Chain A
Amino acid sequence: MRGPDGQLSHHDVFRHSVPIRLAAYWVLAAGCLFFSLVGLYPFPRLPILLVTLLETGVLAATYRGAMASRPMALSYLGAEGLCQTAIFHFCGELRLGVAPIVYTFELLNPGVRLGRAGHFAVANGFAALFAFLVLAEHLGLVALAEPPPWAMASVLVVLLELNVAAVFVSETRRVLEDRAVELAFARDELRSQSADLERRVTARTAEVEASYRALQDQANEHRTFVYTVTHDLKAPLNAILLRADRIDEREGTTLARESRADLSRIKSLAERGEAMLRDLMAHFEVSESPEPPDMVDLATTVRRALEPLESAIASKRLHVQISELPAVWGQPKKLTHVFGNLLSNAVKFTPTAGGRITVESHSDDGNVVICVADNGPGIPAGYERTIFNLFARVPTSDGDAGYAAGPPGTGLGLAIVRRIVEQHHGAVWVESPPGEGSRFYVRLPRRSP
């Protein structure tokens, strides 16, 4: 199991280990020099210094190669072993103790990737170097301090110790490497997953932005359309009103009675047209203006919607009852407009004596249904759907005093209510059983769809 990243992280480890190893050699050399200078132990200063220098050079020159190929790695370790053996050579009586420790340390070198066999080869190579050193001493080939009587036995100890170390090192390294490769794989997987996720988020964001822009363009277009229509329709109506006023001012007193009546009829017709346009504009400004959605507490919304109606409620002595209302996800101003409109209709059409308005709510799966009910004359049969159309009016029937008495509207309010509720992915409808007033229902989703 070799991941592409396993090799890389191994290289990194080795590269970072090089300065540490160099520092270790120089600390060792400095220790030797210090002990010899203060007279604790007579290390030969110059040879140790020179060998350390040589070792530094070997390490610096060959460590790249040692990473790249196994023969280079082995020769690198061989050179290391020779250098260290030379240092032990100058360590006198301490040499037999120092050598196994430093050889083991060398075996742990993370820079060289050897299999189990490679580790045994290196371990036994070091043991051979050590044996050679001891043998050379024994044979008097090199003039060292007097070899202790157990010098030959120490060769066996070193041989055993280095082989045990080789087993330990190759096992540990195998486990660590497997783990490193697993980690590298996991990291790769994670990286590709997060890149994928990022790509998807970017794509989705672009999609959402594009549709938002399209919606905004649409809203702007709609707005420009309504703006132009209201502006262009208002201009001639205004001109009619002003010119009629001028006739009235100039010749009002001299006009025939019929002409005066016609003139005032012209004015009232133009005024009605103007009022409709004004309403259209005002409602449009509410229903089409952008507003950030939020959690909307309907109790607050209804309370706010009732504020401008308070004086009318008081003067008609109406009884208004509001039950507990939940919160929904929506646009606060627009929802206030919805309930303001329904409540103002209720106030407008409820009789002065014994008038009663209730606001209640109940939930069905994921939706909230709010009911604004009054005990007014109700909606005549057959108009339950059309009253939500633009400019729709309910005709006054003879026996229907409530509507005849009610102030004239422009037929826009409920159309705007329906538009806002539908913008909220909800629905609005009315039920009006004969003689029981009207019940307007608004269904809104509790959360954004």
Chain B
Amino acid sequence: MRSPPVLVVDDDPDFLDLARSILEQASPPFDVHIVTTGEQALSFLEQRHPFIDAPSPRFVVLDMRLPDMTAVDVLRKGHEWLEGIPILVVTQALWQSDAGAAREAGASAVREKPGKLAALRALLLDFGANRLDCDASRSR
């Protein structure tokens, strides 16, 4: 059986490293795909070059602040391709106004990046297993 694909979008190598190891060590493991910019994330979702063979992800972990755009921009531009895909928006520092904007744009949940490995593991795996209480005001 093939591992379910997951897309992680972030430019922080530490977070990517840890997220990858958590998701790949899950049981069953996830097929982790990593991109570091909003433009790459959109190309991946739209299966454009160089991601022509990209699978449709089971879920997406999206950093709020990317080098080229914000998570809200990605959610708005990729609206069509993100239909039905759960999206976890993570951020280093959570501002309530940003969280509202992201939810409005279609994020399933907006969370601060945990400072404990156990908490990060629980967040990613619970979200992957659909066990996370998603924010009520999701407009998708």
Residues of A bordering B, CB below 8 Å:
227, 230-231, 234-235, 237-239, 241-243, 245-246, 249, 270-271, 274, 277, 281, 285
Asked whether B2 is an interface residue with its Cβ less than 8 Å from the other chain, the reply is no
- In the bound complex, do residue B93 and residue A227 qualify as a contact, i.e. CB atoms below 8 Å apart? yes
- In the bound complex, CA of A99 to CA of B15 (Å): 112
B69: A residues at CB distance < 8 A? none
Find residues 18-67 in chain B having any chain A CB closer than 8 Å to their own CB: 18, 65
Contact present for A231 and B65 (CB under 8 Å)? yes
Given known contacts A238-B113, A242-B117, A274-B115, A231 and B93 CB-to-CB distance under 8 angstroms: yes
* 26 A-B residue pairings within 8 Å (CB atoms): A230-B92, A231-B65, A234-B92, A234-B93, A235-B14, A237-B115, A238-B15, A238-B113, A238-B115, A239-B12, A241-B115, A241-B116, A242-B14, A242-B18, A242-B115, A242-B117, A242-B120, A245-B117, A245-B118, A246-B117, A249-B117, A270-B115, A271-B115, A277-B93, A281-B95, A285-B95
Give the distance to chain B from A332, nearest Cβ to Cβ, in Å.
18
* Nearest 4 CB-CB pairings of A with B: A245-B117, A239-B14, A241-B115, A234-B92
Q: Which of B15, B65, B115 has the most CB of A within 10 A?
A: B115
Docked pose: A375 CA to B93 CA in angstroms: 38
Chain B contact surface mostly: mixed
CB-CB nearest in chain A for B117: A245
Find the residue from B12, B18, B117 having the highest chain A CB count within 10 A: B117
Contacts of B139 in A (CB 8 A): none
Q: Which of B91, B93, B113, B117 has the most CB of A within 10 A?
A: B93
Query: Which of chain B's residues have a CB closer than 8 A to the CB of A239?
Result: 12, 14-15
In the complex, which range does the number of interface residues on chain B fall in? 10 to 19
Given A245-B116, A274-B115, do A235 and B92 touch, yes or no (CB 8 Å)? yes
Could you say which residues of chain A place their CB within 8 Å of the CB of B65? 231
User: Given the interface contacts A231-B65, A243-B14, A246-B18, does A238 sit within 8 Å of B92 by beta carbon?
Assistant: yes
Q: Known: A230-B93, A285-B96. Is A235-B12 also a contact (CB below 8 A)?
A: yes
Measured in the bound complex, the distance between the Cα atoms of B68 and A224 in whole Å is 16
List residues 101-139 of chain B with CB under 8 A from any CB of chain A. 113, 115-118, 120
Excluding A235-B12, A242-B18, A246-B18, 19 further A-B contacts by CB distance (< 8 Å) are A230-B92, A230-B93, A231-B65, A234-B93, A235-B15, A235-B92, A238-B92, A238-B115, A241-B116, A242-B117, A242-B120, A245-B118, A249-B117, A270-B115, A271-B115, A274-B115, A277-B93, A285-B95, A285-B96
The chain B residue with its CB closest to the CB of A278 is: B93
- Alpha-carbon distance A249/B115, docked complex (angstroms): 14
Which of B116, B118, B120 has the most CB atoms of chain A within a 10 A radius of its CB?
A: B116
Residues in A neighbouring B14, C-beta threshold 8 A = 235, 238-239, 242-243
CB distance from A51 to the nearest CB of B (A): 85
